[in-house]
Structures are given as structure tokens and as C-alpha cells.
Amino acid sequence: MIKKIILISTITSTILISDTNVTTLGEEAIMSMVKSLKHTLKGAIKEGGMVNGANVCKDSAVAVERDVNSKLNNIVVKRVTTKPRNIDNTPSQDELKVLNEFEKTNSKKSITIKIDENHYKVYKPIYMEMKVCVACHGDEKTLNKRAYDIIKNNYKNDKAIGYKKDDFRGAFVADIILKP
């Protein structure tokens, strides 16, 4: 049933939003977040390896999200996953349905869901595409032990491990409220 709802919602949203470019707005906001997070993490790793990357993630990821969101109008971008490290990344029920659909279909395409007349959510799936991802999210073979010690000490209920390269990780969600 969810597949039909998503398909119908996506088609309806695409038709209804062509004038307002909601999907484009959401994708641009998500890409702004992706670029900022990647830039921060890559710089930290280049400067001090995976241990520094783990420290910067722990100390800066939320601040980077806040900074990017403060520059957006009527859009809030967040990350959601069924295996959160930070409980703030736990999906709502409607987000969980979309995550489950992404995981089932292995889709790499963004989708737009119309919530109501002026409210949309644009979802972009996250996959473990870079080798560096599994250093902190991988399994026993790929985890960087020193970096993961930092993570474990800061996230006691971490569920964000056990991934392999190219596994589905979660999604970026751009929550968009249009002004009437």
C-alpha cells in the first residue's frame, strides 16, 4: 500500500508543484546540507585522520545543520535513519514509511510527498557510497577502532554500525512549508 501512496503522492505533487518548484527547492536545500557536512568532515579527516573526523562529527554535525537551516527560508533539512546514532535522527512514522520503501527498492532518486496544501517533504536517500563512511558506520572489519571509541563514549545507544559499502543508510529530508 505504501508504494501506491508514494507513487500517487509523488505524481500529484509533481503536477501541483511545477509552478512553485518545491522539489527543486528541497533538493537544493539538501545539497547545501550535504556539501556543508562533507566539507566539514573531509577537512577534519584531512587535518587529523579518522579520530579527528569522529571528534568533529560529534562536536560539529548538529552545529553545521543549524547553520545551514538558519540560511533557508521555510525549509528545515534533517537526516533520518532506522539505525540512529543520535536519537534526534529517529524518523517520524511518515518518514519511516518512506525509509522502508527506499530500503526495499534501493532507489537513489529523490521523492516529494505532499503533506497538505502548503506542506511538502522532499526525501533524498543516503547510501554508504564512500569508503570512509564504513570507518565509523561499518562492521568489525571496517570500523576504525580509535574513532569508534570516541563515538561509543558519546552515543551510548548507537545503532549506526554494521553497514557495508553501498548499503542504504537513511535519508535527508527537506521539510518545506510554503507561505499561502
pLDDT tens-digit map of 31-52:
999 999 999 999 999 999 999 9
At 144 the three-state DSSP class reads coil
Q: How far is CA 106 from CA 10, 91, 100, 134, in A?
A: 17, 18, 10, 18
Q: Please give the model's pTM, rounded to 2 decimal places.
A: 0.85
Q: Could you tell me the pLDDT band of residue 28, with boundaries at 50, 70 and 90?
A: very high
What counts of helices (H) and strands (E) characterise the chain? 5, 4
Reported as a single tens digit per residue, the pLDDT across 133-164 is 999 999 999 999 999 999 999 999 999 999 99
Residue 138 to residue 58: CA distance in whole angstroms: 17
Residue 25, pLDDT above cutoff 50 = yes
Q: Is the pLDDT of residue 105 over 90?
A: yes
Q: Where residue 15 falls among pLDDT bands split at 50, 70, 90?
A: very low
d(CA 2, CA 104): 11
Half-sphere exposure (Cβ direction) of 113: Cα atoms closer than 13 Å: 18
pLDDT digits (tens, 9 = 90+) for 58-84: 788 889 999 999 999 899 999 999 999
**Domain ranges within the chain, ordered by starting residue:** 2-177
- Strand arrangement, sheet containing 75-80: 75-80, 168-177, 119-127, 111-116
